[in-house]
Structure 1
């Protein structure tokens, strides 16, 4: 081989080597990019369950906004009613429920709500529920004269026995066009006798107004509360029951901390003369004028609830001017209600529960009420 041919062959071999090497690097980069892209897709698709955000779901059964009881909500989500979302550095558990649809037990209202699997007795209780939350939506429609319209209950104590009344309901309520809404809590009497039709609630304001602030006609609203809570504004509650007394503490960054106490085993409403003025105006005119057992909730198993219990419904105000809202329900079509703002939505960031040693199974409540209306 002459010198010229030898030089050509050497040049060709070197050039070919670099082409092969370059091709390998390019292919490696493609595989690398493909691998990274795949990882990103896997990470995006990963579901964060509510039980990872607030790990206490062994203590609850979950009722959905279609009336169903799904039991323990560990590693569970339902994109219509119960799922998680991320905002900034925080994950939140979303409870969402429409104005109209199937309901749980005997209620007129839909709920996506946790119900405690154990019940405890106020006299011997040492039980606590805490939560940090924000309300993201209340119904866009409803009769403003109806006290429950545009409201959602975000925490409860419920009796599992006898009349199954509620010694505590924590409400958020905001009228359309207002920036700020109200937080208030209710005590429902445990009606004396076998007839529970005379039961009534007494409402106490935390921030803003109480339940009795209503509109003068269907679409005319009362004045906006100056010290109210806006949609999307965080607040916290703590419910503690010990030795027959319920203690409530409400906190919010921009508001004064408020505390309240209520005796659950000795009534202050045992005669007609004890009925408060607020009740005289709201409930007595519609025949809810009962009195309470002297021992109130003594001897009845009680349990906590937490979530979004929508207080707005489609029933005519002619049935009950305090609880029947006449709101839009699109004949129970959930997606249509969600599309035009006719639902309640509550986000929870943290929550905890403390259960006394004396608590017992609450299964009887579920077996009685796990039917869809």
Structure 2
């Protein structure tokens, strides 16, 4: 559930109340105020049903934090929910549950800790059974498109120092799987005509057919796709694992956040889908994945563009896969149906649009931007998706991941990227 604002009486030590709702568990991102009875006020922005409040306290793995929690619908009449709260043994989120209550405001009353009267709160979350679907993050807007030179390879127009690209051939490292062109080679002018190259307008082009070598035995489809590599060519760091090559959610254990190359993430891209498959099985025709977050084995998000042969415009939707579980589907523009009618507000082939994928803690938010049209937004609460377990690592992917392996041999999908940016805490 979304907390729109956090405030106090202004007597904090410079670590302000806004730090408790930024999704970061870093020790410097905390609220600290000394004294018995210091209050952190939380505003949900609108009334909602709540059943839990979760708090993470600085150094609670070494000492006990003491606190109370009160709730109000009007910021005037208060009900005590937690009268003797204690957090100890961990810096992770500690859950306090209560009967469902209609509430807009919470106040956490600090009572110091077992060593002194400092109240140092790292992060707070509110959970419940309904209300508040608005996104907790503000859209950043489309990324800026730089000067794109059609005579240069992709790495001269885009910073590819922290990516590798998968191509569905087995020519460079014969092993029966798709070739992965690692960071240094990719950023040194690599291109592969017919798969990965610079378009006539300077775009970075990804083109992929229905067949070819795949990245693993567990993959059903071919791709030409970038994979985020935070190690930037330092091959002493493994590709996989909770390490400096990958990132974790802000809700991950503190030890994972310390070991990872980043905490939380934001990817923005401007692109156009030039072509989608038109032959094959009904459930596969016309769909291509243009952006992902990949975890160890599952995908917190796969962002799809799909256009059916009889339609002039395509749809945008995404899958959120639970860790070790099933997909949940979220439509943003049009329908993902195999028999969808032409989406009135859809996106045509060759039409430029932008997406933004943002993760803060257990909250995933997707924005779709188009010139002259309202921003389309969808948020997913991942608190029950189990990606906050220890050992779960993340990386972004972007390109053309063809979701059709039943089409005719000369069928293909093609996606052109005009801007691509990634940020982490």
TM-score with structure 1 setting the length:
0.61
Distance in 2 separating the partners of 1:65 and 1:232:
24
The partner residue of 2:182 within 68, 71, 79 is: 71
Higher helix proportion (structure 1 or 2): 1
Partner residue, 1:203: 329
Name whichever of 248-257 and 179-188 sits farther off: 248-257
Partner residue, 1:328: 408
- Cα offset, 1:297, TM superposition: 4.6
Distance in 2 separating the partners of 1:302 and 1:126:
9
Q: Do the aligned partners of 2:305 and 2:317 also contact (CA within 8 Å) in 1?
A: yes
TM-score with structure 2 setting the length:
0.53
> Within the alignment, does 1:81 sit opposite 2:195 as a pair?
yes
The partner residue of 2:415 within 346, 358, 364 is: 346
Higher strand proportion (structure 1 or 2): 2
Partner residue, 1:98: 209
Partner residue, 1:49: 153
- Cα offset, 1:47, TM superposition: 4.1
Q: Do the aligned partners of 1:81 and 1:96 also contact (CA within 8 Å) in 2?
A: yes
Q: Do the aligned partners of 1:65 and 1:96 also contact (CA within 8 Å) in 2?
A: no
Partner residue, 2:273: 135
How many residues end up aligned between the 2 structures? 238
The partner residue of 1:227 within 328, 345, 348 is: 345
Q: What runs of 5+ residues in structure 2 fail to find an aligned partner?
A: 1-149, 170-177, 230-244, 252-256, 258-262
- Cα offset, 1:52, TM superposition: 1.6
Question: Map of 1:234-245 to 2, 5 A cutoff?
Answer: 234-245=352-363
Partner residue, 2:222: 110
Greater relative contact order structure (CA < 8 Å, 6+ sep): 1
SS state at 1:51 partner: helix
SS state at 2:203 partner: strand
Q: Do the aligned partners of 2:278 and 2:285 also contact (CA within 8 Å) in 1?
A: no
Q: Do the aligned partners of 1:142 and 1:150 also contact (CA within 8 Å) in 2?
A: no
Q: What runs of 5+ residues in structure 1 fail to find an aligned partner?
A: 1-45, 192-198, 216-221, 268-291, 315-326, 330-336, 357-373
Deviation digits for residues 146-181 of structure 1 (CA, Å, limit 9, x no counterpart): 1x431000000000x2xx100101100011131101
Partner residue, 1:321: none
Question: Map of 1:353-372 to 2, 5 A cutoff?
Answer: 353-356=422-425
Question: Structure 1 residues 139 and 115, CA, compared in 2 at 3 Å: closer, same or farther?
Answer: same
The partner residue of 1:178 within 311, 321, 330 is: 311
Distance in 1 separating the partners of 2:287 and 2:338:
12
Partner residue, 1:370: none
Distance in 2 separating the partners of 1:200 and 1:180:
29
Distance in 2 separating the partners of 1:200 and 1:310:
21
> Within the alignment, does 1:301 sit opposite 2:393 as a pair?
yes
The partner residue of 1:157 within 293, 302, 308 is: 293
